[in-house]
Amino acid sequence: MTKMEFNQLKRIVEAVLLAAAQPLSLAQIGALFTEEEAVGHEELARVLQSLQEDCAGRGVELAEVASGFRYQVRLDVHPWVARMWTERPSRYSRALLETLALIAYRQPITRAEIEQIRGVTVSSNIIKTLEEREWVRVVGYRDVPGKPALFGTTRAFLDYFNLKSLDELPTLAEIRDIDDIEPQLRFEDGDAITARIDAGPQDEAVDEAGADAAPDAGDASTPTPDTDDAIVVGDADTEENRA
């Protein structure tokens, strides 16, 4: 491939990624070319690396997440870019983020096991919100009486938190507070946590977790009701949104 052909391929791939509404994998990018054009994955990998290098010192970066490659705003300039949107960001309670963290680190895990660890009941609205955001899904059922659902994270979860795989999650020893997990999440008024909602891919789960990967919850005592702050989406603060 000549230099001109390489540069043309770069321009095409750059345009495709900018036009895409979600991250694209190497296979998805390669599928855009015909057999006659003979663009292989190795060539695309070199193009993507070159595009990443071109972003050095710029306000955007070409990042690789679980679902593929995407252009995104760098964190250091995000506060200014965010001023373009006037709608209020969604607020998630500490209870919801604690539940999400347990699913991420202990998956596959049942609702009863989450309640046993947290010591409080998990509101159905918390699970519903996480599923609607496509951050968690049912990956199986534990082989015990009642067949409780096992929850795990999805590719959309990894994409939102800018991760390629679960291996990139910080170790528990590195986490001193829940707001260290994601710079875009910040505490407000002590308990509520704000997160920017953006359109994310509705992808399938990262892994089909086995049903015996986590210990049974056993005969845990009945948790007390969770009294954490309400989950607020936009300006809504209704009874059904309370965690």
pLDDT, position 107: 92
**pLDDT tens digits, one per residue of 35-53:** 888 788 889 999 999 999 9
Q: pLDDT-derived band of residue 226, with 50, 70 and 90 as boundaries?
A: low
pTM above 0.85, yes or no: no
Mean pLDDT, the chain, whole residue set: 75
How far apart are alpha carbons 155 and 66 in whole angstroms? 6
197 or 66: which carries more pLDDT confidence? Answer: 66
Q: Which residues contact 183 (CB under 8 A, 6 or more apart)?
A: 75
Q: pLDDT-derived band of residue 225, with 50, 70 and 90 as boundaries?
A: low
192 contacts 95 by C-beta, under 8 angstroms = no
The 3-state DSSP class for residue 4 equals: helix
For the segment 133-137, the average pLDDT, to the nearest whole number, is: 93
Report the first-to-last Cα separation within the chain, whole angstroms: 58
What does the domain layout of the chain look like in residue ranges? Answer: 3-79, 90-241
Angle value at C-alpha 151, between 231 and 194, nearest 5 degrees: 25
Hey, do 3-79 and 90-241 end up sharing a CATH topology, with the first three levels equal? yes
pLDDT, position 93: 87
Quote the percentage of the chain above a pLDDT of 70.
Answer: 69
Question: Which CATH code of 2.115.10.20, 2.40.420.20, 1.10.10.10, 3.10.129.10 fits the domain covering 90-241?
Answer: 1.10.10.10
CATH architecture observed for domain 3-79: Orthogonal Bundle (1.10)
- Reported for 68-77, long-range contacts at CB under 8 A and 24+ positions apart, including other chains, are 68/23, 68/24, 68/25, 68/26, 68/28, 68/29, 69/17, 69/23, 69/24, 69/25, 69/29, 70/17, 70/20, 70/22, 70/23, 70/24, 71/17, 71/18, 72/162, 75/183
How far apart are alpha carbons 146 and 219 in whole angstroms? 13
Q: Are strands 90-92 and 68-73 parallel, antiparallel or unpaired?
A: unpaired
**pLDDT tens digits, one per residue of 5-26:** 888 999 999 999 999 989 999 9
Q: pLDDT-derived band of residue 241, with 50, 70 and 90 as boundaries?
A: very low
